[in-house]
């Protein structure tokens, strides 16, 4: 029998045995065989992975490509976004609901599915929006294969109200009614956890004391108390209404302390982390102004060091990019008033390289990285074991990495359309890079170069209905 793809001599991730020198054979998009190194098979394409790690495909469970958009020139398309992800070793993404209009009902969701069919290079899941202004639309979304629900605990940013329709739960009444609906579906609810009342209070204070060019006003407006008070509310409603919850982009050890305690109490709560919170401290806001702004903000060096202990003890479940591709024209609104700039960085392309560099620096093991970027997101979002592992019969989603390869980030070489706003990463020296991105047996990126002919190869990953 002739295989479609034969990967030989690689250090292959094995669930029970850590990493093992082995070969993998792929046929019809599935892993067909895993053998000892001396075994040989005929194949259409052979990859000699000697000295390379062969990993389950990496999953970025938090991206904002935002197609369709109010202004298409202001963000990614599903093609450009998945192309950037593929360049960074990502084989599956989960797209957030803040399109235009927001994805709060089944018609809007199915419209996005139609767009993705012909555009995506890699596989994809979709969140459904959940908000207090469209409560009756929440349950029907659960029948459409969404990966999870998502909501914001603060009001829509000024000027983006339609993008956030059906996407916020700001009061305790909102949260109660929203959680009550979601509790009937069995699906998890992901939350942007910043407390509306405290955020408004501190933002108003920052505005009153505003001085042009004082970027630290952002740190005041969204201080740690804004995050921790929101997460306390999340824990309360999760426990009372039995809804599994995901705290997105947790930025502080104070918040993770609350989550760890909730886990110990048996509450189904998951913590998402982003590389920028583990690597870059709040001084980058002062250095870069709006190009160093994210929500929640970057924290102090002491807080960053404390975050790593929650990687080690398992409180942090998975790592995502929170890819936010805003154009330069919008980001630079923050030069005069930091509070006016949209928040976030284009990160899906560099999330894996950033974390591989941290493996090389001894901050975590390769095995732990696979858990955080493949196994755990696959389990959290109902993809496992078809994705998130390497086993006979599973999807042949494979990321091959070279831990000795090096790169100095030049943002102008990035695939994302928002490359000009990726100044946080400019000049960064990274060691450890993805060299093959394989989606259901098809090589969609090789040595950092994406195969644009793979456009439309990506497939929707429907989450099975919970029993």
Beta-sheet pairing, 43-48 with 3-14: parallel
Q: Do domains 3-55+393-407+429-453 and 59-380 have the same CATH topology?
A: no
| Length reported for the chain | 467
Which residues, other chains included, contact 201 with Cβ-Cβ below 8 Å and sequence gap of 6+? none
Residue 89, Ramachandran bin (φ over 0: left; ψ between -120 and 50: alpha; else beta): left
What pLDDT, in 10s, does the model give residues 103-112? 999 999 999 9
Q: What is the CA radius of gyration of the chain?
A: 21
Encode burial over 172-210: b for 16+ CB neighbours within 10 A, e otherwise. eebbeebbebbbebebbbbbbbbbbebbeebbeebeeee
Helices (H) and strands (E) in the chain, counts: 15, 17
**Rounded Cα gap, residues 119 and 271, in angstroms:** 30
Contact 166, 105 (CB under 8 A): yes
What topology is assigned to 59-380 in CATH? TIM Barrel (3.20.20)
pLDDT the model gives residue 435: 98
Residue 75: what pLDDT? 87
Name the CATH superfamily housing domain 3-55+393-407+429-453. Urease, subunit C, domain 1 (2.30.40.10)
Q: Pick left, alpha or beta for residue 456 (phi over 0 → left; psi -120 to 50 → alpha; otherwise beta).
A: left
Of 196, 143, 148, the closest CA to residue 168 belongs to 196
Question: Is the pTM here over 0.95, yes or no?
Answer: yes
Distance separating alpha carbons of residues 79 and 220, to the nearest angstrom: 37
Instruction: Tell me what pLDDT residue 227 has.
Output: 98
Residue-level pLDDT at 339:
93
Spans in the chain with pLDDT lower than 50: none
| Distance in angstroms (rounded) separating the CA atoms of residues 167 and 435 | 37
Taking alpha carbons only, the member of 382, 367, 369, 371 closest to residue 147 is: 382
pLDDT value of position 56 = 98
Predicted confidence at residue 10, as pLDDT, reads 98
* pLDDT tens profile 223-240: 999 999 999 999 999 999
- In sequence order, what are the beta bridge partners of 399? 55, 437
Reduced to 3 states (helix: H, G, I; strand: E, B; else coil), residue 139 is: helix
**300: number of CA atoms within 13 Å, CB side?**
8
User: Would you kindly state where each structural domain of the chain is located, as residue ranges?
Assistant: 3-55+393-407+429-453, 59-380
Cis peptide, bond prior to residue 456, ω within 30 of zero = no
| Residue 250 CB partners (closer than 8 Å, separation 6+) | 193, 227, 231, 256, 259, 271, 272, 273, 277, 316
Distance CA 141, CA 9 (A): 44
Contact (Cβ atoms closer than 8 angstroms) between residue 460 and residue 126: yes
**Cα–Cα distance, 428 to 408 (Å, whole number):** 5
pLDDT for the residue 191: 98
Q: DSSP code of 390?
A: -
């Amino acid at each position: 029998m002739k295989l479609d793809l034969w990967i030989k001599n690689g250090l292959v991730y094995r669930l029970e045995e850590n990493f093992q020198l082995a070969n993998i054979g792929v046929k019809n998009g599935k892993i067909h065989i895993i053998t000892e190194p001396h075994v040989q098979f005929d194949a259409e394409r052979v990859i000699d992975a000697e000295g390379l790690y062969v990993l389950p495909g990496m999953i970025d469970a938090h991206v904002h490509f935002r197609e369709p958009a109010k202004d298409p020139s202001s963000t990614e398309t599903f093609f450009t976004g998945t192309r950037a992800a593929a360049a960074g070793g990502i084989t599956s993404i989960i797209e957030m609901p803040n399109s235009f209009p927001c994805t709060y009902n089944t018609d809007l969701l199915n419209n996005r599915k139609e767009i993705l069919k012909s555009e995506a290079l890699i596989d994809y899941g979709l969140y459904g929006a959940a908000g207090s202004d469209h409560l009756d639309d929440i349950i029907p979304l659960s029948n459409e294969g969404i990966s999870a629900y998502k909501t914001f605990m603060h009001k829509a940013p000024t000027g983006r109200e339609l993008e956030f329709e059906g996407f916020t739960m700001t009061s305790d009444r909102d949260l109660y009614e929203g959680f009550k609906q979601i509790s009937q579906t069995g699906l998890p609810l992901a939350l942007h956890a910043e407390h509306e009342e405290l955020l408004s209070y501190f933002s108003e204070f920052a505005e009153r004391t505003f001085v042009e060019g004082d970027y630290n006003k952002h740190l005041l407006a969204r201080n740690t108390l804004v995050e921790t008070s929101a997460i306390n509310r999340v824990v309360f409603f999760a426990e009372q209404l039995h809804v599994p919850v995901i705290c997105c982009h947790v930025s502080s050890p104070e918040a993770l302390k609350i989550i760890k305690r909730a886990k110990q109490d048996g509450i189904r709560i998951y913590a998402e982390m982003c590389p920028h919170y583990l690597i870059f401290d709040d001084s980058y806001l002062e250095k870069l102004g709006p190009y160093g702004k994210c929500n929640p903000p970057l924290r102090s060096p002491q807080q960053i060091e404390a975050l790593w202990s929650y990687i080690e003890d398992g409180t942090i479940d998975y790592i995502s990019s929170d890819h936010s591709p805003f154009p330069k024209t919008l980001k630079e609104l923050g030069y005069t008033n930091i509070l006016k700039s949209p928040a976030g960085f284009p990160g899906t392309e560099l999330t894996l390289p950033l974390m591989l560099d941290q493996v090389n620096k001894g901050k975590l093991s390769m095995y732990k990285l696979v858990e955080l970027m493949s196994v755990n997101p696959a389990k959290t979002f109902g993809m496992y074991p078809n994705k998130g592992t390497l086993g006979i019969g599973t999807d042949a989603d494979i990321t091959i990495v070279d831990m000795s390869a090096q790169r100095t980030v030049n943002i102008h070489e990035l695939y994302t359309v928002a490359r000009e706003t990726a100044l946080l990463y400019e000049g960064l020296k990274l060691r450890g890079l993805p060299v093959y991105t394989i989606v259901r047996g098809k090589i969609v990126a090789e040595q950092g170069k994406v195969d644009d002919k793979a456009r439309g190869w990506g497939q929707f990953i429907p989450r099975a209905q919970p029993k």
